[in-house]
Structure 1
Amino acid sequence: MNDAVALVTGASRGIGRGIALALLAEGFSVHVTGRTRFEAEANQAGSAGSLEGLEREAAKLPGRIFVHRCDHGKDADTRRVAEDIRAGGRLDILVNNAWPGYENMVEDGEFTWPRPFWEQPARRWEAMIGTALRGAFMVSRAVAPMMISARRGLIVNISFWAAQLYEGNAIYGIAKAAADKMAADFAHELRPHDVAAVALYPGLVRTEAVLENAEYFDMSNSESPQFIGRVIGGLWRDPELMSKSGRALVAAALAHEYGIADVNGYRPVPLTAADFARD
């Protein structure tokens, strides 16, 4: 049994769920947060995934799961989760994944995501900046003292190439650039305490939403939701972890460095900024 303890935010579905499952498969104790606690709630909302469903999958795995219904847009919820974890004595890894930024992409039958910034609905800013980015800051703020006390820890901000390149939505780019900068500045302040912070870029991930629209994607180099969790496990075991602190890292490139394959044995090809520039 791995004795490390992780917290994965936004784990009821998508990448967060995959990260949690990958860490549980490696024997980590994993705290997970999400707004959708039960499958009945997900069905009623017409969405896929709940913490209840994740619990059922986790029952087959060696790690221990701890479930927290939490809306990271509410500071009281975040504080409660941190207090519950603190009562257990330790936290080694925080994965800031919770992301409501893709909600309500269609309004009144129109796909509003690619509108220019002056036509973007203000609620999209609130979702990506006021909720997702602020939530990542607040949960990091709440749990960092545990890592500092232990003199070891890792904070991972799930980010993307939109931090560096235009990816069709200005608010999205601002949010991801801020996630990278947050990791870099956290790393600077945490370095004296031997705690690392990084931003981590997935590739095309076979989430529920992507699979529903698979005909629109080139899936040949896609990643399972568990893949990035496997990479985070490798990052945690890396004896040179602190040398990577403060950087924006590509999950597939780290997987090549660590010799990690996806769940189906495939080794995703790392993408670079040049790949996106050609699109």
Structure 2
Amino acid sequence: MDLELKDKTAIVTGSARGLGAATARRLAQEGARVVVTDIDGEGAEATAKELAGLGHRAIAVRADITSGADVDGLVAAAEEFGGVDILVNNAGFPRDTLLTKMTDTDWDSVIEVILKGSFLVTRAVMPQLIERRWGRVVNISSRSYLGNPGQANYSSAKAGILGFTRALAAEQGRYGITVNAVAPGFMETEAVRSLDHYEKIREKAVAAQPLRRTGQPEDIADAVAFLASERASFITGETLHVTGGRFG
């Protein structure tokens, strides 16, 4: 299936590794020009070099997406590829602990990156999408929006992403812009594999799913590529759960 992404330009936040890197790779395979961006500049550079080595068009931009100045620089850097067509708001991280032990920093840092970061980057690219009368915004939420113990900060941020998605879909649809979300379940990333008791966590997650395997970053990348494509041109305001069938 041709997703018609050739020569489109995509920014993927948090794409030094994990789900973001897999998404950048998938979009590049479809012919998109990819701006790899992360607060980890060296990691972003490594991912961009990997893509370029495979014959894809990619650049790396080190950016803290909670900084307006960094976001402006990121969007300006995308002009090397002629501006932005696709934005994937992927950057984010958990900082898990029970509410009674959660510090202000635990709360603020997670909310700032996931919600404020998505707001700042989307606001910065939206004028270009409106001018083109075409655009795709794909926001990475999580099954955690349903609520996980020890993740009041992360669950709140990921639930907020869904409200952000629906509001923008209603607001920007008249310009030919679609805004959707992907909600991953348990994904086998490097960060997850490094967790204490990983095997026990993995077994519990897989047992709760109808599909008895771990999710892979490529599963998310495929979902994002579809939602960014012409094949999904009449889908907006939706949340695509990529969870192996687990919702609760």
TM-score, with normalisation over the residues of structure 1?
0.77
Partner of 1:97: 90
Counterpart selection for 2:239 from 237, 248, 272: 248
Distance 2:35 2:49 in 1: 15
The one-letter code of the counterpart of 1:98 is A
Structure 2 counterpart SS, 1:33: strand
Aligned residues: 234
Is 1:271 aligned to residue 245 of structure 2?
yes
Question: Which residue identity does 1:27 align to in structure 2?
Answer: G
Check if 1:236 corresponds to 2:228: yes
Using the alignment, how far apart are the partners of 1:249 and 1:207 within structure 2?
Answer: 19
Partner of 2:57: 64
Deviation at 1:92, TM superposition (A): 1.6
Q: Does 1:143 align with 2:125?
A: yes
Q: Looking at both structures, which has the greater relative contact order when contacts are Cα pairs under 8 Å and sequence separation is at least 6?
A: 2
Structure 1: any 5+ residue segments left out of the alignment? 39-49, 106-112, 253-269
Alignment equivalent of 2:36, drawn from 32, 36, 55? 32
The C-alpha deviation readout for 1:130-174, integer Å capped at 9, x for no partner, is: 232101100000001111111111111100122233453211121
Identity fraction in percent: 30
Query: Partners in 2 of 1:51 and 1:6 — Cα distance?
Result: 14
Q: Which runs of 4+ in 1 moved over 3 A?
A: 165-168
What is the CA-CA distance between 1:211 and the residue it aligns to?
2.5
Aligned 1:123-202 pairs, distance under 5 A: 123-202=105-184
SS at match of 2:37: strand
Give the equivalent residue in structure 1 for 2:209: none
Measure the CA separation in 2 of the matches of 1:206 and 1:166.
18
Structure 1 equivalent of residue 72 of structure 2: 79
How far apart, in 2, do the equivalents of 1:17 and 1:239 lie?
23
SS in 2 for 1:204: coil
Structure 1: distance between partners of 2:171 and 2:64: 27
Residue equivalent to 1:223: 215
How far apart are residue 204 of structure 1 and its match?
2.0
- The question of 1:53 aligning with 2:49 is answered no
Selected match of 1:115 from 98, 107, 114: 98
Once the two structures are superposed, residues 221-246 of structure 1 have per-residue CA deviations (whole angstroms, 9 ceiling, x without a partner) of 2232232122222223344433x211
**Does 178-187 or 199-208 show the bigger shift?**
199-208
Separation in structure 2 between the aligned mates of residue 240 and residue 130 of structure 1, nearest angstrom: 30
CA 1:3–1:167 in structure 2 vs 1: closer, same or farther (change >3 Å)?
Answer: farther
Partner-residue secondary structure (3-state), 1:31: strand
| Structure 1 residue 62 displacement after superposition | 3.8
